[in-house]
């Protein structure tokens, strides 16, 4: 065989082999924590403990809500979850590494018991309640199941079961694709079991929130008193799909049907066409979100959610704006987008110090909190940062809003 052909075959195999061998080391460096939340009270420095205590001031722990946390599993663990081969095969090395990092962040070291380990990691050191989210399959415009195009599937029954088994810790956020033929029946079934949140990832699930085919779905959601928690802006965590489906202005249709909508991440990444005036071209999705928040007709219906807002792939302007726009604070809710906060490279406290949002001693204490408890770190960071005139997020942002989730 020609040596050039042999080289062309061997080099990719070697590259994948090197990636496979180094994957564990990569994950160990990228994923933070490493100490137990239970150790924090006895082993952390007084400075770190004091900062955490200040962050929790005014928060009744039983009423704290993380509205945005992910769980998953595999065929081996009995959860009913499905993961695309794109995420698990070395034929797609970067997706494989990404998925391995997610697993490590969730505390999973045994795939056969992955779902169980993820739940244990979430319960560990938990404060208040966590809304664990299902993820429906991707469907075609005609309602045909697109299993091949689905990156991760988390069944509604799984999160409903978790919420029933861990009543003090979990709430169920279900996921129903509006194009599936049994969409209304599935909404009714989930609502009857107590679900109040419906989760969408329009980009990767191929959902157009402005599609008239969603109208009956929106009407049923309104009748059932359910809230739509939906990604908006650019999608990075899973297969991206059509970027324009994440345009926050496409959510007007749901709002105009009287559906409460919580915009995940406050649409803080990417751009979208200005559908109100296409001549302006594409604008920052965050600015489109702010425009909608400024429309009086959507007060009481439209909310923003803070998960991922502090991540390093977001402009500091986003967090600063949300801090300083105190008129929006009663319409903000908190979420972590767990397990992403446990991935250390996602967040740089130093850039917030440089931007004047944190003091040097606060940055140092926060970095120590992260070593013990990334979820506490996420909350403490959001409670510690301040705007140019000392503005901070009030306690109400982190507590259950009865119109969205019961206390």
- What does each of the 407 residues of the chain score in pLDDT, given as a tens digit? 454 443 443 434 344 444 444 445 455 445 655 688 889 999 999 999 999 999 999 999 999 999 999 998 877 788 888 887 666 666 556 566 777 777 777 777 777 777 888 888 888 878 899 999 999 999 999 999 999 889 889 999 999 999 999 998 999 999 999 999 999 999 999 999 999 999 999 999 999 999 999 999 999 999 999 999 999 999 866 655 688 999 999 999 999 999 999 999 999 999 999 999 999 999 999 999 999 999 999 999 999 999 999 999 999 999 999 999 999 999 999 999 999 999 988 999 999 999 999 999 999 999 999 999 999 999 999 999 999 999 999 999 999 999 998 65
Give residue 95's pLDDT: 65
- Tokens describing residue 299: 């007060």
- Tokens describing residue 148: 């091949």
Give residue 146's pLDDT: 94
Give residue 17's pLDDT: 44
Give residue 406's pLDDT: 64
Q: What is the pTM of this model?
A: 0.90
Domains and CATH numbers, the chain: 59-353+389-398 (3.20.20.140)
Phi/psi for 316 (5° steps) reads: -55, -25
Give residue 18's pLDDT: 43
Which single residue is written with the structure tokens 């697109």? 146
- Tokens describing residue 76: 């081996």
Q: Which of 144, 221, 219, 220 is nearest to 181 (CA)?
A: 144
Alpha-carbon distance of 362 to 129, in angstroms, equals: 26
Alpha-carbon distance of 252 to 260, in angstroms, equals: 11
Alpha-carbon distance of 388 to 390, in angstroms, equals: 6
Contact 203, 246 (CB under 8 A): yes
Give residue 10's pLDDT: 42
């Amino acid at each position: 065989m020609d040596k050039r052909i042999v080289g062309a075959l061997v080099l990719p195999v070697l590259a994948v082999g090197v990636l496979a061998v180094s994957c564990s080391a990569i994950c160990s460096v990228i994923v933070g924590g490493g100490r137990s939340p239970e150790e924090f009270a006895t082993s952390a420095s007084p400075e770190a403990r004091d900062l955490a205590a200040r962050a929790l001031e005014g928060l009744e722990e039983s009423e704290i809500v993380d509205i945005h946390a992910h769980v998953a599993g595999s065929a081996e663990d009995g959860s009913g979850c499905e993961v695309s081969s794109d995420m698990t095969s070395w034929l797609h090395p970067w997706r494989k590494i990404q998925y391995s990092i997610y697993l490590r962040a969730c505390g999973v070291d045994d795939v056969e018991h992955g779902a169980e380990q993820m739940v244990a990691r979430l319960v560990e050191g938990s404060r208040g309640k966590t809304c664990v989210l299902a993820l429906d399959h991707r469907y075609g415009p005609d309602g045909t199941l697109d299993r091949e195009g689905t990156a991760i599937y988390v069944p509604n029954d799984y999160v409903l079961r978790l919420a029933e088994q861990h009543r003090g810790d979990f709430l169920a956020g279900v996921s129903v694709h509006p194009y599936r033929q049994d969409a209304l029946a599935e909404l009714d079934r989930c609502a009857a079991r107590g679900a109040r949140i419906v989760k969408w990832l329009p980009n990767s699930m191929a959902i157009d929130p402005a599609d008239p085919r969603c109208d009956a779905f929106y009407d049923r959601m309104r009748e059932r008193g359910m809230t739509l928690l939906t990604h908006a802006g650019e999608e990075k965590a899973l297969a991206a799909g059509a970027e324009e489906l994440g345009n926050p202005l496409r959510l007007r249709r749901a709002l105009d049907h009287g559906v409460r909508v919580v915009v995940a991440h406050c649409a803080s990444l990417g751009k979208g066409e200005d559908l109100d005036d296409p001549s302006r071209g594409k604008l920052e999705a965050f600015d489109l979100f702010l425009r909608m928040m400024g429309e009086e007709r959507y007060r009481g219906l439209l909310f923003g959610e803070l998960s991922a807002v502090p991540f390093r792939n977001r402009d500091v302007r986003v967090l600063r704006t949300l801090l300083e726009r105190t008129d929006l604070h009663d319409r903000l809710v908190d979420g972590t987008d767990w397990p992403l906060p446990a991935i250390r490279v996602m967040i740089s406290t130093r850039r917030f110090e440089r931007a004047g949002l944190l003091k040097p001693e606060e940055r140092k204490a926060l970095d120590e909190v992260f070593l013990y408890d990334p979820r506490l770190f996420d909350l403490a960071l959001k409670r510690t940062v301040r705007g140019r005139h000392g503005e901070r997020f009030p306690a109400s942002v982190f507590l259950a809003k009865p119109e969205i989730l019961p206390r």
